[in-house]
Amino acid sequence: MSWSSRLASLLPGAVARDTGGTEPDPRFTFANERTFLAWSRTALALVVAGLGIVQLLPPFPGVPAGRHLLGVPLIALGAVLAVVAYAEWVRNQHALRRGEPMPKSNMPWILAAAITGMAIVSAIVLLISAVR
């Protein structure tokens, strides 16, 4: 499946036209929706954290771009997470309708890797600013 057709399958109209399988148990549908909302709140929290770092923290001595180095990737990650969360919701709903196994999610891996990376960058920025 090409990228354009994949993207097209994510549009609400295409999702609503998905009549394959049967309507799943409403509890599963609700649970899928709550999972999407939880990821959305995580994305918003990342945006708040990024903006807080850039706008509210004092500058790091010796690292003039330190705040932007930490904050901007967090905000960008929040934007990516929101889109990926929606794509995951569509995939999960597709699997639920057909009684298929739930597709493997990459989101926990993405989040864990991003947090680890940001922690390492934060430590480096703090060490540099402490030395100078």
Binding site for other proteins (CB under 8 A): 10-12, 15-16, 21-31, 33-34, 36-38, 40-41, 43-45, 47-48, 50-52, 54-59, 67-68, 71-72, 75-76, 78-79, 82-83, 85-86, 89-90, 93, 96, 99
Shortest distance in whole angstroms from residue 91 CB to other proteins: 12
Using an 8 Å Cβ cutoff, are 128 and 63 in contact? yes
**Helix axis angle, 66-98 to 107-131, nearest 10°:** 170
Q: Which is nearer to other proteins, 13 or 108 (CB)?
A: 13
**What residue spans of the chain are helical by DSSP H?**
3-10, 12-16, 26-56, 66-98, 107-131
Q: Which is nearer to other proteins, 58 or 108 (CB)?
A: 58
Shortest distance in whole angstroms from residue 114 CB to other proteins: 14
Phi, psi (degrees; rounded to nearest 5) at 101:
-60, 145
Q: Which is nearer to other proteins, 21 or 117 (CB)?
A: 21
Shortest distance in whole angstroms from residue 63 CB to other proteins: 13
* Dihedral in degrees, nearest 10, Cα atoms 98, 104, 110, 113: 160
Q: What is each CA distance from 110 to 14, 25, 27, 42, 116, in whole angstroms? A: 27, 29, 27, 12, 10
Shortest distance in whole angstroms from residue 100 CB to other proteins: 10
Q: Which is nearer to other proteins, 6 or 34 (CB)?
A: 34
